[in-house]
Amino acid sequence: MKLHTVPALQGFVWVRRGFQVFLGQPLATTFLLASFLFGALLLLLIPGIGVLLLLMALPLVSLGFMIASRNSLDGQRAGPKVFVEGLQGPPSQRKTMLYLLSAYAAANIVVMLLSDVIDAGRLEALQTAATSDKPMSAEALNAMLGDPRLFWAMVLRLALTAVIALPFWHAPALVHWQGQGVAQALFISSLACWRNKGAFVVYGLGWLVLILLFSFIANALVALLGEPRLLALAAMPAGLMFSTAFYASLYFTYADSFRPDQPVGHDEAVLLDSDRPSGN
Protein backbone atom coordinates (compact mmCIF):
# COMPACT_ATOMS: atom_id res chain seq x y z
CA MET A 1 0.00 0.00 0.00
CA LYS A 2 1.37 3.40 -1.01
CA LEU A 3 0.34 6.91 -0.10
CA HIS A 4 -1.30 8.76 -2.95
CA THR A 5 -1.70 12.52 -3.41
CA VAL A 6 -4.87 13.68 -5.15
CA PRO A 7 -5.81 17.06 -6.66
CA ALA A 8 -7.68 19.48 -4.40
CA LEU A 9 -10.84 19.19 -6.51
CA GLN A 10 -11.00 15.51 -5.63
CA GLY A 11 -12.66 16.72 -2.43
CA PHE A 12 -15.79 17.51 -4.46
CA VAL A 13 -15.65 14.01 -5.94
CA TRP A 14 -15.66 12.52 -2.43
CA VAL A 15 -18.82 14.49 -1.61
CA ARG A 16 -20.47 13.35 -4.84
CA ARG A 17 -19.56 9.71 -4.27
CA GLY A 18 -21.04 9.86 -0.80
CA PHE A 19 -24.36 10.93 -2.30
CA GLN A 20 -24.06 8.24 -4.98
CA VAL A 21 -23.80 5.55 -2.32
CA PHE A 22 -26.70 7.09 -0.39
CA LEU A 23 -28.94 7.39 -3.46
CA GLY A 24 -28.01 3.87 -4.56
CA GLN A 25 -29.25 2.39 -1.27
CA PRO A 26 -31.13 5.17 0.55
CA LEU A 27 -33.11 2.95 2.91
CA ALA A 28 -30.20 0.69 3.82
CA THR A 29 -27.74 3.51 4.46
CA THR A 30 -30.27 5.60 6.39
CA PHE A 31 -31.09 2.54 8.50
CA LEU A 32 -27.38 2.27 9.33
CA LEU A 33 -27.35 5.84 10.60
CA ALA A 34 -30.58 5.31 12.54
CA SER A 35 -29.08 2.17 14.12
CA PHE A 36 -26.03 4.16 15.22
CA LEU A 37 -28.18 6.94 16.71
CA PHE A 38 -30.31 4.41 18.58
CA GLY A 39 -27.21 2.63 19.84
CA ALA A 40 -25.69 5.95 20.94
CA LEU A 41 -28.84 6.73 22.92
CA LEU A 42 -28.65 3.36 24.67
CA LEU A 43 -24.99 3.90 25.54
CA LEU A 44 -25.72 7.32 27.02
CA LEU A 45 -28.27 5.69 29.33
CA ILE A 46 -25.51 3.65 30.98
CA PRO A 47 -24.51 5.55 34.12
CA GLY A 48 -20.87 6.39 34.64
CA ILE A 49 -19.28 4.89 31.53
CA GLY A 50 -21.91 5.61 28.87
CA VAL A 51 -20.10 8.65 27.45
CA LEU A 52 -16.78 6.78 27.45
CA LEU A 53 -18.28 3.82 25.56
CA LEU A 54 -19.88 6.16 23.04
CA LEU A 55 -16.58 7.92 22.39
CA MET A 56 -14.87 4.56 21.92
CA ALA A 57 -17.60 3.50 19.48
CA LEU A 58 -17.29 6.51 17.16
CA PRO A 59 -14.24 5.23 15.20
CA LEU A 60 -16.06 1.91 14.75
CA VAL A 61 -19.02 3.79 13.30
CA SER A 62 -16.78 5.54 10.75
CA LEU A 63 -15.15 2.22 9.87
CA GLY A 64 -18.56 0.57 9.61
CA PHE A 65 -19.73 3.10 7.06
CA MET A 66 -16.47 2.62 5.14
CA ILE A 67 -17.15 -1.10 5.01
CA ALA A 68 -20.74 -0.47 3.95
CA SER A 69 -19.64 1.86 1.13
CA ARG A 70 -17.06 -0.64 -0.02
CA ASN A 71 -19.69 -3.38 -0.05
CA SER A 72 -22.09 -1.18 -1.99
CA LEU A 73 -19.60 -1.06 -4.86
CA ASP A 74 -20.18 -4.80 -5.22
CA GLY A 75 -23.95 -4.39 -4.99
CA GLN A 76 -24.13 -5.74 -1.44
CA ARG A 77 -26.40 -4.39 1.26
CA ALA A 78 -24.83 -3.78 4.65
CA GLY A 79 -26.58 -4.19 7.97
CA PRO A 80 -25.71 -2.88 11.44
CA LYS A 81 -23.22 -5.73 11.87
CA VAL A 82 -20.67 -3.60 9.96
CA PHE A 83 -20.28 -1.54 13.15
CA VAL A 84 -18.72 -4.50 14.98
CA GLU A 85 -16.79 -5.90 12.04
CA GLY A 86 -13.73 -3.97 13.15
CA LEU A 87 -13.62 -6.10 16.31
CA GLN A 88 -13.99 -9.44 14.55
CA GLY A 89 -10.42 -9.85 13.31
CA PRO A 90 -7.62 -11.95 14.80
CA PRO A 91 -7.05 -11.50 18.55
CA SER A 92 -3.94 -9.34 18.06
CA GLN A 93 -5.76 -7.05 15.62
CA ARG A 94 -8.77 -6.87 17.92
CA LYS A 95 -6.50 -5.80 20.77
CA THR A 96 -4.92 -3.15 18.56
CA MET A 97 -8.35 -1.83 17.61
CA LEU A 98 -9.37 -1.62 21.28
CA TYR A 99 -6.18 0.32 22.07
CA LEU A 100 -7.01 2.70 19.21
CA LEU A 101 -10.58 3.20 20.43
CA SER A 102 -9.33 3.85 23.96
CA ALA A 103 -6.81 6.40 22.70
CA TYR A 104 -9.55 8.22 20.77
CA ALA A 105 -11.83 8.34 23.80
CA ALA A 106 -9.01 9.52 26.06
CA ALA A 107 -8.01 12.31 23.65
CA ASN A 108 -11.59 13.60 23.46
CA ILE A 109 -12.06 13.45 27.22
CA VAL A 110 -8.92 15.57 27.66
CA VAL A 111 -10.35 18.13 25.21
CA MET A 112 -13.65 18.24 27.10
CA LEU A 113 -11.90 18.66 30.45
CA LEU A 114 -9.73 21.50 29.13
CA SER A 115 -12.78 23.23 27.68
CA ASP A 116 -14.67 22.86 30.94
CA VAL A 117 -11.79 24.45 32.83
CA ILE A 118 -11.70 27.43 30.47
CA ASP A 119 -15.46 28.11 30.37
CA ALA A 120 -15.96 27.26 34.06
CA GLY A 121 -18.88 24.97 33.27
CA ARG A 122 -20.86 27.45 31.19
CA LEU A 123 -21.35 25.11 28.24
CA GLU A 124 -22.67 22.41 30.54
CA ALA A 125 -25.01 24.96 32.11
CA LEU A 126 -26.33 25.90 28.66
CA GLN A 127 -26.91 22.26 27.78
CA THR A 128 -28.72 21.70 31.05
CA ALA A 129 -30.88 24.77 30.51
CA ALA A 130 -31.79 23.59 27.00
CA THR A 131 -33.23 20.35 28.37
CA SER A 132 -34.75 21.82 31.53
CA ASP A 133 -38.47 22.32 32.06
CA LYS A 134 -37.73 25.76 33.49
CA PRO A 135 -36.24 27.90 30.66
CA MET A 136 -33.41 30.32 31.37
CA SER A 137 -34.30 34.00 31.32
CA ALA A 138 -33.31 36.01 28.26
CA GLU A 139 -31.00 38.21 30.34
CA ALA A 140 -29.17 35.24 31.84
CA LEU A 141 -28.90 33.55 28.43
CA ASN A 142 -27.48 36.67 26.76
CA ALA A 143 -25.00 37.17 29.60
CA MET A 144 -23.79 33.58 29.31
CA LEU A 145 -23.53 33.68 25.52
CA GLY A 146 -21.60 36.94 25.72
CA ASP A 147 -19.05 35.55 28.14
CA PRO A 148 -15.64 35.45 26.37
CA ARG A 149 -14.67 32.36 28.34
CA LEU A 150 -17.43 30.39 26.63
CA PHE A 151 -16.29 31.67 23.22
CA TRP A 152 -12.65 30.71 23.74
CA ALA A 153 -13.59 27.36 25.20
CA MET A 154 -15.61 26.61 22.05
CA VAL A 155 -12.71 27.73 19.85
CA LEU A 156 -10.35 25.45 21.77
CA ARG A 157 -12.79 22.55 21.57
CA LEU A 158 -13.22 22.92 17.80
CA ALA A 159 -9.49 23.37 17.17
CA LEU A 160 -8.41 20.39 19.26
CA THR A 161 -11.19 18.22 17.87
CA ALA A 162 -9.94 18.99 14.35
CA VAL A 163 -6.38 18.13 15.40
CA ILE A 164 -7.57 14.81 16.85
CA ALA A 165 -9.51 14.00 13.68
CA LEU A 166 -6.39 13.92 11.48
CA PRO A 167 -4.56 10.95 13.05
CA PHE A 168 -7.80 9.05 13.63
CA TRP A 169 -9.36 9.74 10.20
CA HIS A 170 -7.90 6.70 8.42
CA ALA A 171 -6.51 4.88 11.47
CA PRO A 172 -9.42 2.42 12.05
CA ALA A 173 -9.36 1.41 8.37
CA LEU A 174 -5.58 1.00 8.43
CA VAL A 175 -5.81 -1.26 11.47
CA HIS A 176 -8.73 -3.24 10.02
CA TRP A 177 -7.65 -3.63 6.40
CA GLN A 178 -3.87 -3.25 6.62
CA GLY A 179 -3.21 -4.78 10.05
CA GLN A 180 -1.15 -1.79 11.21
CA GLY A 181 -0.34 -1.05 14.84
CA VAL A 182 -1.76 1.92 16.72
CA ALA A 183 1.25 4.22 16.39
CA GLN A 184 1.82 3.33 12.74
CA ALA A 185 -1.84 3.81 11.82
CA LEU A 186 -2.01 7.19 13.57
CA PHE A 187 1.18 8.37 11.87
CA ILE A 188 0.19 7.16 8.39
CA SER A 189 -3.29 8.65 8.76
CA SER A 190 -1.84 12.03 9.76
CA LEU A 191 0.62 11.94 6.87
CA ALA A 192 -2.08 11.00 4.35
CA CYS A 193 -4.38 13.79 5.56
CA TRP A 194 -1.56 16.33 5.42
CA ARG A 195 -0.47 15.32 1.91
CA ASN A 196 -4.08 15.65 0.73
CA LYS A 197 -4.91 18.72 2.81
CA GLY A 198 -6.09 20.61 -0.27
CA ALA A 199 -8.63 17.92 -1.11
CA PHE A 200 -9.79 17.79 2.51
CA VAL A 201 -10.27 21.57 2.60
CA VAL A 202 -12.35 21.38 -0.58
CA TYR A 203 -14.19 18.39 0.88
CA GLY A 204 -15.14 20.37 3.98
CA LEU A 205 -16.11 23.41 1.93
CA GLY A 206 -18.26 21.22 -0.29
CA TRP A 207 -20.32 20.01 2.66
CA LEU A 208 -20.56 23.55 4.05
CA VAL A 209 -21.80 24.94 0.73
CA LEU A 210 -24.40 22.20 0.38
CA ILE A 211 -25.76 22.76 3.88
CA LEU A 212 -25.88 26.55 3.43
CA LEU A 213 -27.53 26.16 0.02
CA PHE A 214 -30.17 23.86 1.46
CA SER A 215 -30.81 26.30 4.33
CA PHE A 216 -31.17 29.21 1.89
CA ILE A 217 -33.59 27.34 -0.37
CA ALA A 218 -35.63 25.99 2.55
CA ASN A 219 -35.95 29.42 4.19
CA ALA A 220 -36.85 31.00 0.84
CA LEU A 221 -39.64 28.45 0.30
CA VAL A 222 -40.92 28.95 3.84
CA ALA A 223 -41.00 32.72 3.32
CA LEU A 224 -42.71 32.30 -0.05
CA LEU A 225 -45.36 29.86 1.19
CA GLY A 226 -45.75 31.40 4.62
CA GLU A 227 -45.58 28.02 6.38
CA PRO A 228 -42.84 27.98 9.05
CA ARG A 229 -43.76 24.39 9.96
CA LEU A 230 -42.42 23.23 6.60
CA LEU A 231 -38.89 24.10 7.75
CA ALA A 232 -39.19 21.81 10.76
CA LEU A 233 -40.62 19.05 8.57
CA ALA A 234 -37.74 19.33 6.10
CA ALA A 235 -34.97 19.64 8.68
CA MET A 236 -35.02 16.04 9.95
CA PRO A 237 -34.96 14.19 6.59
CA ALA A 238 -32.39 16.65 5.26
CA GLY A 239 -30.21 16.12 8.33
CA LEU A 240 -30.42 12.35 7.90
CA MET A 241 -29.58 12.61 4.22
CA PHE A 242 -26.55 14.87 4.69
CA SER A 243 -25.26 12.87 7.66
CA THR A 244 -25.65 9.53 5.88
CA ALA A 245 -24.02 10.79 2.69
CA PHE A 246 -21.14 12.22 4.72
CA TYR A 247 -20.46 8.93 6.47
CA ALA A 248 -20.81 7.09 3.16
CA SER A 249 -18.16 9.36 1.63
CA LEU A 250 -15.52 8.48 4.24
CA TYR A 251 -14.47 5.34 2.36
CA PHE A 252 -13.60 7.35 -0.73
CA THR A 253 -11.29 9.64 1.24
CA TYR A 254 -9.47 6.49 2.37
CA ALA A 255 -9.44 4.69 -0.97
CA ASP A 256 -8.12 7.73 -2.84
CA SER A 257 -5.38 8.38 -0.27
CA PHE A 258 -3.77 4.96 -0.63
CA ARG A 259 -2.82 2.82 -3.59
CA PRO A 260 -2.91 -0.96 -3.01
CA ASP A 261 0.21 -2.96 -3.84
CA GLN A 262 -1.89 -5.88 -5.08
CA PRO A 263 -4.27 -5.70 -8.05
CA VAL A 264 -7.80 -4.72 -7.06
CA GLY A 265 -11.13 -5.87 -8.37
CA HIS A 266 -12.97 -4.10 -11.14
CA ASP A 267 -15.23 -2.03 -8.88
CA GLU A 268 -12.34 -0.84 -6.74
CA ALA A 269 -10.24 -0.09 -9.81
CA VAL A 270 -13.00 2.20 -10.99
CA LEU A 271 -13.16 3.75 -7.55
CA LEU A 272 -9.44 4.42 -7.36
CA ASP A 273 -8.85 5.61 -10.89
CA SER A 274 -12.00 7.37 -12.04
CA ASP A 275 -12.35 11.12 -11.67
CA ARG A 276 -8.58 11.53 -11.51
CA PRO A 277 -6.54 13.46 -14.05
CA SER A 278 -4.22 11.31 -16.12
CA GLY A 279 -0.69 11.09 -14.79
CA ASN A 280 -1.66 11.02 -11.08
Q: How many domains does the chain have?
A: 1
Determine, yes or no, domain membership for 280.
Answer: no
* d(C-alpha 242, C-alpha 102), whole Å: 28
Determine, yes or no, domain membership for 279.
Answer: no
Determine, yes or no, domain membership for 91.
Answer: yes
Which of 118-132, 234-248, 259-273 comes out lowest in average pLDDT? 259-273
Closest listed residue to residue 171, CA positions, set 151, 156, 192, 153: 192
Q: Which residue has the higher pLDDT, 202 or 236?
A: 202
Determine, yes or no, domain membership for 6.
Answer: yes
Q: Which residue has the higher pLDDT, 65 or 273?
A: 65
Q: Which residue has the higher pLDDT, 175 or 214?
A: 175
Query: pLDDT at residue 275 above 60?
Result: no
Determine, yes or no, domain membership for 179.
Answer: yes
Query: pLDDT at residue 154 above 90?
Result: no
Domain ranges, residue 91: 2-273
Give mean pLDDT, residues 33-45.
Answer: 92
- Residues 105-122 pLDDT 10s: 999 999 888 877 776 666
* d(C-alpha 118, C-alpha 113), whole Å: 9
* d(C-alpha 127, C-alpha 23), whole Å: 35
Determine, yes or no, domain membership for 278.
Answer: no
CB atoms within 10 A of CB 248: 27
Give mean pLDDT, residues 43-62.
Answer: 92
pTM over 0.85: no
Average model confidence (pLDDT) across the chain: 84
Determine, yes or no, domain membership for 230.
Answer: yes
Q: What per-residue confidence (pLDDT) applies to 129?
A: 59
Determine, yes or no, domain membership for 267.
Answer: yes
